[in-house]
Amino acid sequence: MLTKSALVTLLGAASSAAADVYTVPSQPNANGEPLDGFVSYSIEFASFPEFAGNKSSPNTFSYNLINNLGALQGHKPYIRVGGNTQDYALYNASQKASLIGIVDPSRSPDYPTTIHIGDAYFESYGTWPGVQFSHGFNLGLGANRSEGWETLADTVPLACKALSHGNIYTWEYGNEPDLFSTSAQGPVRPSNWNESTYAWQWLNGTAEITKQVKKHCPTLALFGGPKFMAPSFAGTGNHLKAPLAFQDGLDKNKNIEYFSTHNYISGATSLGVTLQGTLMNHNRTVSSVQGHLPEYNAIFTTAAAQKATPLIFGECNSLYNQGRPGLSNTFGAALWGIDFNLYAASVGFKRVHMHMGTNYRYQAWQPVETDLASRGTKAPYYGSIAVAATLGNQELLPVSITNIPLASAYEAAYAAHYSSGLLKGHLARLTVLNMRGYNTTVDGEGLESVPNPPPRPSQTYTFAVSGARNGAHVGVQRLLANGSDAITGITFDGWSYNYELAKGKPVRLHNVTVGETAVVRNGQVTVEVPDSSAVLLNFPLL
């Protein structure tokens, strides 16, 4: 990690000239106000018992990390339980274990594709007080196999009872059905799979879910429930198209509560994927996020319709196929996560669920010890912390996020304005990302340091901040690591969330500079940002 002396030396070194003054808008972005719990997670269905634990042994490490984010953003992350493995899960009433899975490496080396769950699976929903969940039901096998349909009928009562304690978020029926006929793990639909057939099967299955909820958990059926996130498509360029599914009546019962879409910037084995060119690249992130807006706007054409059915990323992360070591698990991926989340918020995404599973390379944390990965807080989690700190307490003082275009594809900035009440329009925070790569290890895994690494450059950013009082002291919080390829030694404002220190609870490190301020002069504020780092500026209320 960067020590006090190293940071002082770095910021005193030669940096780029402040060639531009970037203007921060004086008013909040009307499209950029997220919902509460904007920083949220999606947990792979087969991994959920390991992330959450059970009644007798809850996973307190996971819960500590969730609570950290809740303290910053005013609401605990919402947890979507789903992913590919929800569409392999069948129910076995006599099974004592929560989940038994068989991994077939020819289909996927990272998760089981033959899965049976028992009653104990649903205990995991009771381990994290105050957290709200969505449960993913099996559409992949549920609509065309008798044991799949029986699983649906048998598990709805178990799920709804587990989620009848103020911990229900929403429901989901099927994960990425647009890939059902082309899945690399094995197609579960014929090649003529189309939107009308999907809509019919989804309506049939959700009708069964509704019937079972009304029978076994009638209080959850009040006020038009149950509601769903849908269509949970993998993207916009696949076999099924969301606008056509809606034209074929997907939401004819008006029970889609969130329009959920999924996103990955690229694939773990895709050619040409690099940290700098793929992840630490604002232009690439903008293009990927923007690609989802046309279909949403084509379906929900008015502001009222969009308010009624908010746009969310129900599942997303850096590189599909569970990420690549040296890329998805690095500090550079944490910087990408900040850029991705804040840009998504700025263009209208109301909540973002970052996906993870046991042993996944892009995960925010590893919940248990395995022979493939050590239990611990991973680099991407620190990106989530920085996003939550940018948003602040959305329940008390909601903000709106605005993207501020900068000169290079390797940098980004976002303003957070208070969006309501007496403080509306006041600049609350400003996050600046310098995503120029700076590497300090030989192999990207942090195992061997580069001998005599070159000096670390720094960039100077000046922002015109109308309304900010001249002479005001602006708080500076830094997200730091030794380089973009670092996988450990990361801090936010001097805080570490490592498992080894306090099982994920925040611990202030005394060898990292904190308490730094910048001063507003002539309506401008200037800050230096080392390459491969981020800074959060906190403006005083008065």
- Please confirm, yes or no, whether 369 is among the known catalytic residues: no
Measured between alpha carbons, how far is 279 from 39 in angstroms, rounded to an integer? 19
Measured between alpha carbons, how far is 150 from 142 in angstroms, rounded to an integer? 8
Residue 167 exposed, middle or buried by CB count within 10 Å (0-12, 13-18, 19+)? middle
Rounded mean pLDDT, 415-421 = 96
pTM of the model: 0.95
Query: Could you read off the pLDDT of 153-188 as tens digits, one per residue?
Result: 999 999 999 999 999 999 999 999 999 999 989 999
SS3 (DSSP) at 51: helix
- Please check whether residue 180 is in contact with residue 114, taking contact to mean a CB–CB distance below 8 angstroms: no
- Please confirm, yes or no, whether 50 is among the known catalytic residues: no
Could you say which DSSP state residue 53 is in? B
Nearest to 333 by CA among 261, 262, 278: 278
Q: What's residue 142's pLDDT?
A: 81
Q: Among 9-18, 98-107, 364-373, 483-492, which is the least confidently predicted range?
A: 9-18
Measured between alpha carbons, how far is 180 from 184 in angstroms, rounded to an integer? 9
Tokens of 291: 């690609």
Looking at 195, 208, 295, 528, which residue is catalytic? 195
Nearest to 263 by CA among 170, 176, 363: 176
- Counting residues of the chain whose pLDDT is more than 90, the rounded percentage is 90
Does the CA dihedral 81-255-393-530 come out positive or negative? positive
Q: What's residue 17's pLDDT?
A: 44
Q: What's residue 60's pLDDT?
A: 98
Query: Could you read off the pLDDT of 192-244 as tens digits, one per residue?
Result: 999 999 999 999 999 999 999 999 999 999 888 899 999 999 988 898 999 99
298, pLDDT greater than 60 = yes
What mean pLDDT is reported for the chain?
Answer: 94
Q: What is the 3-state secondary structure (H, E, C) of 470-512?
A: CCCEEEEEEEECCCCCCCCCCEECCEECCHHHHCCCCEECCCC
Q: What's residue 16's pLDDT?
A: 44
10, pLDDT greater than 70 = no
Please give the C-alpha separations between residue 366 and each of 369, 372, 381, in angstroms, as whole numbers: 8, 10, 10
Q: Residue 340: which H helix or E strand, with range?
A: helix 331-346
Q: What's residue 502's pLDDT?
A: 98
Angle at the Cα of 401 (from 397 to 402), degrees rounded to 5?
145
Q: What's residue 275's pLDDT?
A: 97
Rounded mean pLDDT, 381-409 = 97
Question: How many Cα atoms occupy the beta-carbon half-sphere of 485 within 13 Å?
Answer: 18
Please give the C-alpha separations between residue 230 and each of 294, 372, 496, in angstroms, as whole numbers: 16, 33, 36
Q: What's residue 339's pLDDT?
A: 99
Q: What's residue 12's pLDDT?
A: 46
Query: Could you read off the pLDDT of 59-102 as tens digits, one per residue?
Result: 999 999 999 999 999 999 999 999 999 999 999 999 999 999 99
- Please check whether residue 485 is in contact with residue 329, taking contact to mean a CB–CB distance below 8 angstroms: no
- Taking CB atoms within 8 Å and a gap of at least 24, the contacts of 509-513 are 509/1, 511/1, 511/3, 511/4, 512/1, 512/2, 512/3, 512/4, 512/7, 512/480, 513/2, 513/4, 513/7, 513/8, 513/478
Q: What's residue 454's pLDDT?
A: 86
Q: Residue 21: which H helix or E strand, with range?
A: strand 21-24
Angle at the Cα of 23 (from 22 to 27), degrees rounded to 5?
150
SS3 helix, strand, coil % of the chain, rounded to 5? 30, 25, 45
Query: Could you read off the pLDDT of 256-292 as tens digits, one per residue?
Result: 999 999 999 999 999 999 999 999 999 999 999 999 9
- Residues paired with 365 in a beta bridge: 377
Q: What's residue 452's pLDDT?
A: 79
Looking at 176, 315, 411, 528, which residue is catalytic? 315
428, pLDDT greater than 70 = yes
444, pLDDT greater than 60 = no
Measured between alpha carbons, how far is 418 from 33 in angstroms, rounded to an integer? 9
- Please check whether residue 382 is in contact with residue 479, taking contact to mean a CB–CB distance below 8 angstroms: yes
Q: Residue 228: which H helix or E strand, with range?
A: strand 228-233
Q: What's residue 256's pLDDT?
A: 98
| Structure-token match 């959700």, residue found | 206
